[in-house]
Amino acid sequence: MPANLTTSLRRRRTVAPMQAFDRAPPELRAWLREAALPWSTHSALRLWRRALADGADPRAARARLDAAEARLLGRDVARVWGLGHPGR
């Protein structure tokens, strides 16, 4: 085993990314296609299911995903584009 692959972390079995995407709900797949960040289907699906479990409908779940993405983008705006960027 190469040295850079030696780790004490347990390996996680992952589904092929496109198969996971294909199994996601159509509304979530549509959101992922339009997302500004390269979300994994696993991460987006976890947020999606949490929103639906809290009683949100698919439109509200999409709004939660939009808010989560905006938070992530906002965190990096100043570092990437500088303090004067309008997204700050």
The confidence band for 77, taking pLDDT boundaries of 50, 70 and 90, is confident
pTM of the model: 0.73
pLDDT digits (tens, 9 = 90+) for 3-12: 555 555 566 6
Query: For the chain, first and last CA: distance in Å?
Result: 45
On whether the CB atoms of residues 27 and 58 are closer than 8 A, the answer is: yes
Distance CA 20, CA 14 (A): 9
User: What pLDDT, on a 0 to 100 scale, did the predictor assign at position 2?
Assistant: 55
User: What pLDDT, on a 0 to 100 scale, did the predictor assign at position 75?
Assistant: 84
What total number of domains does the chain contain? 1
Q: Which of 5, 11, 44 is nearest to 27 (CA)?
A: 44
The answer to whether position 30 is within a domain reads yes
19 to 15, 24, 27, 40, 85: CA distances (angstroms): 7, 9, 16, 12, 38
> Which residues form the domain of 33?
25-78
The answer to whether position 8 is within a domain reads no
The answer to whether position 18 is within a domain reads no
The answer to whether position 1 is within a domain reads no
The answer to whether position 14 is within a domain reads no
Give me the mean pLDDT over the 11-34 stretch.
Answer: 88
Report H helices in the chain: 17-23, 26-34, 41-53, 58-81
The answer to whether position 7 is within a domain reads no
Q: Is the pLDDT of residue 61 over 90?
A: yes
The confidence band for 21, taking pLDDT boundaries of 50, 70 and 90, is very high
Q: Kindly report the average pLDDT of the chain as a whole number.
A: 85
